[in-house]
Amino acid sequence: MAQEISAKLTNFAESPQKTRLVIDLVRGKKVVDALNTLSLTPNKAARPVHKLIYSAMSNAEENFGVSRDDLVVYKIFADEAPTRKWRSFGARGRFKPLLKRRSHVTVILREVE
């Protein structure tokens, strides 16, 4: 049976919608190819997702003895975290709510057989 290694990034200060644009680029790829893709992606979410995948890869090498060439990004998804509600005041006494959206990112790596 294939080994599954997971890592989580919680309360990342980027909306889940924008984070999903980045993680869709690497889903199903080999880990080395995914890291190369993310290092060249200009989005704000690319660097933290790169660090997350690298962390999961390092955990697999250190704790389970799996080679980095045998790992694939099996599952990766971004869920919505609690939204921080802030305020802004408009003209004529109006209230304009600002929603600071955050996301939880989870990656699961699997060993290729």
- pLDDT at 113 exceeding the cut of 90: no
Whole-number Å distance between alpha carbons of 89 and 31: 46
Is residue 108 within 8 A of residue 16, CB to CB? The reply is: no
Residue 100's domain comprises 4-111
Q: How confident is the model at residue 3 (pLDDT cuts 50, 70, 90)?
A: confident
- CATH number of the domain residue 64 falls in: 3.90.470.10
**pLDDT on residue 1:** 53
Task: Please state whether the predicted TM-score (pTM) of the whole model is above 0.75.
Answer: yes
**pLDDT on residue 82:** 96
32: left (phi over 0), alpha (psi -120 to 50) or beta: alpha
- pLDDT at 62 exceeding the cut of 80: yes
62: left (phi over 0), alpha (psi -120 to 50) or beta: alpha
**Domains of the chain: total:** 1
